[in-house]
Amino acid sequence: MKKFFEGEKFLANGREKDVFVVPKSSDRPAEVVISHFKENKEGTDREAKARYYLTKILHYLFPENIPDVYFSSKKTLITEKVDTGRLHQRFHELKAKGEKNEETAVEWQECKGLAESMADMARNRVYGSSFNNDLLDLGVSFDFAFGNFGVDDKNNIKYVDSFDPWSLDPKNELCRGYNLEKLTKVIESLPNDRGGILNANFSSRRKERAKRYLVELEKLFIEEAEGRKNSSAGIK
Ligand SMILES: Nc1ncnc2c1ncn2[C@@H]1O[C@H](COP(=O)(O)OP(=O)(O)O)[C@@H](O)[C@H]1O
Ligand SMILES: [Mg+2]
């Protein structure tokens, strides 16, 4: 596989992506994660752009829970590397041992225990965070699989999988991967204040950017929906 960066190190592979860590360097102040979509999971350029805007907005709304995104194409996603915590690491270690067999049965039992506690966390019972409910409430769909969640050392839930800006419903109609009205409202409710010296303008800038990103996201969604309509009209 072609390497994007010097020193890229394998981190994990999931169902959709092969994931690598890129170390920091003189022109990169922190580690980043580069995920390569598997061939059959590549989407379109438009979808990749839309994913970028949606993820940026969600990162602005949940900065402690959703890693920032720096680059998005149909083949590649570059995101902030976050601390996913001990349970998550252990899960990957156990998974790497491969198929369950007599030798690994005890480990798989541990793995199952970890998966259950992460699922509890994801459902909000353990850490009492409202993060998942907030996301669901914004009409954002996400994958509850254990490997997509971590907990950092400040007990923040981290959601590391990517977001789909849209999907097809059972009637083959294109649906937004977010609730436009609710997202508009919640962005509008972000603070405007320019007070504070250190993070002066941060919140205002974030709000302005989130608004712009939502406009761009919506444009792409409409283009996609219209493109689909036209192409199915063309087929008839
Ligand atoms: N931003 C990130 N920071 C830290 N670890 C990550 C990040 N993104 C992905 N990972 C690691 O890579 C694994 C697979 O990533 P994921 O995006 O869930 O791939 P897939 O879509 O194939 O399931 C995760 O379980 C996690 O361990
Ligand atoms: Mg995943």
pLDDT at residue 22 in the model? 95
Ligand closest in space to the Cα of 51: 1
Beta carbons of 151 and 126 less than 8 angstroms apart: no
pLDDT at residue 31 in the model? 95
Contacts of 120 (CB under 8 A, 6+ apart): 126
101 in a structural domain: yes
pLDDT at residue 124 in the model? 56
Task: Report residues near ion ligand 2: CB below 5 Å.
Answer: 14, 148, 161
Top-confidence range, 48-62, 93-107, 125-139: 48-62
Tokens of 64: 């402690």
pLDDT 10s digits, 32-73? 999 999 999 888 999 999 999 999 999 998 888 899 999 999
pLDDT at residue 144 in the model? 77
| 77 Cβ closer than 6 Å to some ligand 1 atom | no
* Segments forming the whole domain that contains residue 132: 83-159
Å from CA of 12 to ligand 1 middle:
7
User: Quick check: 204 pLDDT over 70?
Assistant: no
88 in a structural domain: yes
| 36 Cβ closer than 6 Å to some ligand 1 atom | no
Is pLDDT larger for residue 99 or for residue 18?
A: 18
235 in a structural domain: no
Per-residue pLDDT band for 2 (boundaries 50, 70, 90) equals: low
Å from CA of 131 to ligand 1 middle:
18
90 in a structural domain: yes
pLDDT at residue 193 in the model? 58
| 67 Cβ closer than 6 Å to some ligand 1 atom | yes
143 in a structural domain: yes
121 in a structural domain: yes
Per-residue pLDDT band for 99 (boundaries 50, 70, 90) equals: confident
Mean pLDDT to the nearest integer, 13-20: 91
Q: Report which ligand 1 atom has the smallest distance to the Cα of 67.
A: 1
User: Quick check: 180 pLDDT over 60?
Assistant: yes
User: Quick check: 233 pLDDT over 90?
Assistant: no
Q: Report which ligand 1 atom has the smallest distance to the Cα of 147.
A: 25
- Number of structural domains found in the chain: 1
Q: What is the pTM of this model?
A: 0.88
Q: Are strands 9-13 and 32-37 parallel, antiparallel or unpaired?
A: unpaired
73 in a structural domain: no
Quick one: three-class SS letters along 125-185? CCCCCCHHHHHHHCCCCCCCCHHHEEECCCCCEEECCCCCCEEECCCCCEEECCCHHHHHH
| 15 Cβ closer than 6 Å to some ligand 1 atom | yes
Per-residue pLDDT band for 202 (boundaries 50, 70, 90) equals: low
136 in a structural domain: yes
pLDDT at residue 156 in the model? 83
| 160 Cβ closer than 6 Å to some ligand 1 atom | yes
